[in-house]
Amino acid sequence: MKRILTALMCMALSLSLFSGCQRGTAPAAPSSAGASSGASDTSAGDAPATSGTPEYTIRIGHVLAPTHPYQLGLEHFKELMEERTGGRVKVEVFHSSQLGNERDMVEGLQLGTLEMCMVSTAPLSSFTSDFLVFDLPFIFSDVATARGCVDSEIGQNMLDQLTNQGIKGLCYFENGFRSVTNSKLPITVPADLAGMKIRTMENPIHMDSFRAMNADPTPMAFGELFTALQQKTIDAQENPLAIVETSAFYEVQSYLSLTEHFYAPTPVLVAQAYYDSLPADIQTTLKECMLESRDFERGVLDEMNTRLISELADKGLAINEVDKGPFIEAVQSVYEKYTGDGKIPADLMQKVKDFTV
């Protein structure tokens, strides 16, 4: 009996001590005195205050490889944005179609399931046919002219037309001029493409351009392309040099012909509702950081293009220049189709022509 009483007393004492400890370690309610009195911590100087947890998270996706200039440019944006907001904004970059294909990501912006993405102009032409003008074959003769046009009022007006679709266009990154690779023969004249099964984006102008050269355009998601080339279910593809290298197409193709038939600007987009929800200072920082990152990305691309010809040749591709004259002549029917029936506004077409003269 004495043992039982002793045990009960010990249990009671333990419970008393435990409850006392609980009361003693309970966190105090946060005080709002500092905020209500206008007090601030001046020890950090003018640096933005940080709580250790970002207030905003921006996910931005693209479809290309982690070594492509897209990724390097977006990593630069991440660094700038997080630094200049003092950690209030966290940026997460997703490459290689991790957030879906381009159409999926654009729809994500509209649905509010994604904050930002960068895509080709192809999925945007369904919102405004103006974007088709950048897809016309041989519309630009050189990089400087192309960049000047997309960065001008012409390119910005196109981005502004996306606003009523729930999308805000910020600027244009660049993929560069597209050229043809294939597994059969060097392409020197349009007739060399006759009957060749070539992967294109799901872009009506791109497909019609290759049809005009008697090729067999086959639209296909980019993520499926390497396997299709490897298995020889298609013969050819067309992309800028940076994609040929970063996607290792030299492993499954034999010839690279420098046709440079399409220029590929890459709009950088943000969900309008998300952008509107950001404080004004973060909106401003977002735009500034993205413009700086655009210039950084283009610089990386320029550096790659100066060395990739020799490097791709070293990796086994037979590379040839082409006389673009016969190719330009072969695709005139595409201009007639897309400027003659009103798909591309006549005044826009004239503005681009005036810019390129």
Listing DSSP states for 108-135 in one string gives: HHHHTS-SEEE--SGGGTTT-GGGGGGG
CA distance 209 to 138: 10
> What are the tokens at 76?
């630069």
| Mean pLDDT value of segment 60-87 | 97
pTM of the model: 0.83
The distance from CA 209 to its chain's CA centroid, rounded to whole angstroms, is 24
CA distance 27 to 25: 6
Residue 15 has pLDDT above 80, yes or no: no
Give the tens place of pLDDT for each residue, 106-160.
999 999 999 999 999 988 988 999 999 999 999 999 999 999 999 999 999 999 9
Q: Domains plus CATH for the chain?
A: 56-356 (3.40.190.170)
Give the tens place of pLDDT for each residue, 76-100.
999 999 999 999 999 999 999 999 9
